[in-house]
C-alpha cells in the first residue's frame, strides 16, 4: 500500500511570490526520486498565501528519504522570513 502525504506551507502576505519560487524548485528533483508516484503543488484559490503539496510515495522509507534529500534541506534553509509557521506535514493511508 502506498503512502499519501499532504504538506501545507503558509507564506507571509508580502512573501507569496518568493515562497512560490522556492516551492516550485522542489517539483522536478522530487518527481525523479525513487518511490515518488505523485508530487503536486497547489495554491489556494481564495487565499494565495496557502500552498499545499499532495504527494504519493511507494513507502514510508521513500518519503523519509525525500524529507532528508538535499533539495528539501536547501528549501528549508530558505523558508525563514517567508512563512507564517512551520510546515505542516501529515501522512495518510488510502482507506477506499
- Provide the pLDDT confidence category of residue 94 given band limits of 50, 70 and 90: very high
On whether residue 43 sits in a domain, the answer given is yes
What pLDDT does 59 receive? 97
For 18-34, the pLDDT digits (tens) are: 999 999 999 999 999 99
CATH number for the domain including 12? 3.30.70.100
What share of the chain has pLDDT > 90, as a percent?
A: 98
- Nearest in space to 79 (alpha carbons), one of 1, 22, 8, 7: 22
On whether residue 7 sits in a domain, the answer given is yes
On whether residue 65 sits in a domain, the answer given is yes
pTM of the model: 0.94
Sequence-distant (6+) residues with CB within 8 A of 85 are: 10
What share of the chain has pLDDT > 70, as a percent?
A: 100
- State the total domains in the chain: 1
Average pLDDT over residues 60-77: 97
- Range of the structural domain that residue 15 is part of: 3-84
Amino acid at each position: 500500500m502506498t503512502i499519501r502525504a499532504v504538506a501545507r506551507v503558509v507564506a507571509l502576505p508580502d512573501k507569496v511570490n518568493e515562497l512560490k519560487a522556492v516551492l516550485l524548485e522542489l517539483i522536478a528533483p522530487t518527481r525523479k526520486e525513487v518511490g515518488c508516484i505523485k508530487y503536486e503543488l497547489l495554491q489556494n484559490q481564495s487565499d494565495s498565501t496557502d500552498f499545499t503539496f499532495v504527494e504519493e510515495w511507494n513507502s514510508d522509507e521513500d518519503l523519509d528519504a525525500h524529507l532528508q534529500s538535499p533539495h528539501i534541506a536547501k528549501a528549508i534553509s530558505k523558508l525563514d522570513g517567508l512563512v507564517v509557521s512551520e510546515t505542516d506535514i501529515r501522512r495518510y493511508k488510502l482507506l477506499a
